[in-house]
Amino acid sequence: MSSDRVDWPDPAAIMTFLDGDPDEDPWVTPRLQTEEIPLEAYSEEWPIRFEALRRQIADALPETVIQIEHIGSTSVPGLESKPVIDIDLIVPDPTCEQAYVPALTALGYVLTIRERSWYEHRMLRLHMPRVNLHIFGPQCPEHARHLLFRDWLCAHPEDQQRYAQAKHQSRDCSVNMVEYNQNKQAVIRDIYRRIFEHHSWQ
């Protein structure tokens, strides 16, 4: 595994999938009711693009960044994906938006989602190139799951193919990204089950 796991939460927390408050409206900017969901063949440009973005974010937040990781399908060689770079940015305190939002706004990112009830997650979008920048705090179980899922798919082509099929099936019956993500959930959770069993986590 490429990422340091010393500061991860314990396995019980990683295996517990928490839901946010269903009554919370997380959208800072208006939510799109319909969205195109293009899936493209893996591009060698995606990791190069991430590295340029990583350096830019690190330079803009030298006192704030704890960790910057390429996650999601564009981080898995060979996997089809939406041409959107997903990044996890770990900061000391996601609730202290003044410590990172102004500097990221200056780079063109737009604060789009604020989920206080779900790991204090924030998400900022960059439109060119397309980036979803996810903000979490230290020892966040969701961040740990992102890295486990990424590294598992990189090492297990059979599950990578299974996930690719789920993405296509979900795209064909979804009108926006919320539905697209929900329709993949059963396959994602089953792959996580395999990951947890591999680690002998009960």
In a domain, 1, yes or no: no
Looking at the domain assignment, is residue 142 inside a domain?
A: yes
> Is residue 4 situated within a structural domain?
no
Domain count across the chain = 1
| Residue corresponding to tokens 């830019």 | 56
Q: What is the CATH number of the domain that holds 121?
A: 3.30.460.10
Tell whether 184 is covered by a domain.
yes
Per-residue pLDDT for the chain (202 aa), expressed as one digit of tens each?
345 566 799 999 999 999 999 999 999 998 776 777 789 999 999 999 999 999 999 999 999 999 999 999 999 999 999 999 999 999 999 999 999 999 999 999 999 999 999 999 999 999 999 999 999 999 999 999 999 999 999 999 999 999 999 999 988 887 787 888 889 999 999 999 999 999 999 7
Provide the residue range defining the domain that includes 83: 24-198
Instruction: Say how many Å lie between the first and final Cα of the chain, rounded.
Output: 20
Q: CA–CA separation, 88 vs 123, rounded Å? A: 9
**18 in a structural domain:** no
Strand order in the sheet with 85-90: 67-71, 85-90, 130-136, 121-127, 110-115
Query: Is 41 within a domain?
Result: yes
